Amino acid sequence: MLQKCEGIVVRTNDYGESNKIVTIYSREFGKFAVMARGAKKTNSRLSSISQPFTYANFLFHKGSGMGTLQQGDLVASQRAIKEDLFKSAHASYMVELLDKAVEDLQSNPFLFELLSQCLSYLNEGHDEEVICFIFEMKLLPVYGVQPVLDSCACCGQTEGNFSFSIRENGLLCHRCSHVDTYRMSVSAKTIRLLRLFFYLDLSRLGTICLQEKTKHELRLVIRTYYDEYVGVYAKSRSFLEQLDRMKDMLQEKKEDQTNPDT
């Protein structure tokens, strides 16, 4: 039986000398895998539509087992992502987080729109770290967890100076800071951004420019929260962390050259 869907390639695996198993996250059917026969051949009509992050309208044959990809009409190749190491690394991390969060054949139009919009923003040149932070925050409820971001997780107060507590699952005001001696002391801007990224309507996203210090705080809070409450291992995150260290080294070198010792 032939079926159609609108989907994004989230994973590919080589199969034999010329075939690929392509995992698609679709609007209609959720996540599913199909065999793309001959897709590894450069002259294959399936080659371009079986690349990671590709957004297309797919036609596939569905039988009792794994389906077979027949053809696809390209919606967006996401070429700018594939040609940029940093964008590609962040996109890989995002699709891996989604892949691990959802079961096969569970449709979720909200998630499809989230992934589609975030990849589109990356492709258009938005800051890949900012888009990734937004994606991570919005994916938390899919994993069944949600930090308290509107008030103090301990006393419920909405005003004061806040830190972030992994143990208390959210914000801690200055009155309750003694509750967790390991709380993360981050800037008020970082607290506002955590809240913004969680609730933001992505269609209203403007340009967000962040200092490296703020990015570092956001990264620390979000990734530590994932480690403690989500607990998934993403191979792509290791590569991201290597890139982060490389960027830090380059930034330090640049600062040393700009401000040499006298």
CA end-to-end span of the chain = 75
Q: How do residues 95-132 score in pLDDT, each as one tens digit?
A: 999 999 999 999 999 999 999 999 999 999 999 999 99
The burial class, CB within 10 Å (0-12 / 13-18 / 19+), for 26 is buried
pTM, entire model: 0.92
For residues 159 and 185, state if they share a domain: yes
How far apart, in whole angstroms, are the C-alpha atoms of residue 64 and residue 104?
15
Q: How do residues 137-159 score in pLDDT, each as one tens digit?
A: 999 999 999 999 999 999 999 99
For residues 113 and 240, state if they share a domain: yes
Residue with tokens 């139009």: 109
For residues 227 and 248, state if they share a domain: no
For residues 149 and 74, state if they share a domain: no
- The pLDDT of residue 262 is 46
For residues 6 and 92, state if they share a domain: yes
For residues 254 and 226, state if they share a domain: no
Q: What are phi and psi of 168, to 5 degrees?
A: -90, 0
For residues 227 and 245, state if they share a domain: no
In a domain, 58, yes or no: yes
Q: Which residues have CB under 8 Å from 50's CB, separation 6+?
A: 9, 12, 20, 22, 36, 39, 69
DSSP state of 1: -
Domain extent at residue 59: 2-125+233-258
For residues 179 and 202, state if they share a domain: yes
For residues 63 and 184, state if they share a domain: no
For residues 40 and 155, state if they share a domain: no
Q: How many distinct structural domains can be found in the chain?
A: 2
For residues 112 and 171, state if they share a domain: no
Q: Is the dihedral of CA 224, 230, 232, 237 positive or negative?
A: negative
How far apart, in whole angstroms, are the C-alpha atoms of residue 152 and residue 232?
27
Residue 65: is its pLDDT beyond 80? yes
Band (pLDDT 50/70/90 cuts) for residue 261 is: low
Give the total residue count for the chain: 262
Residue with tokens 């290597």: 242
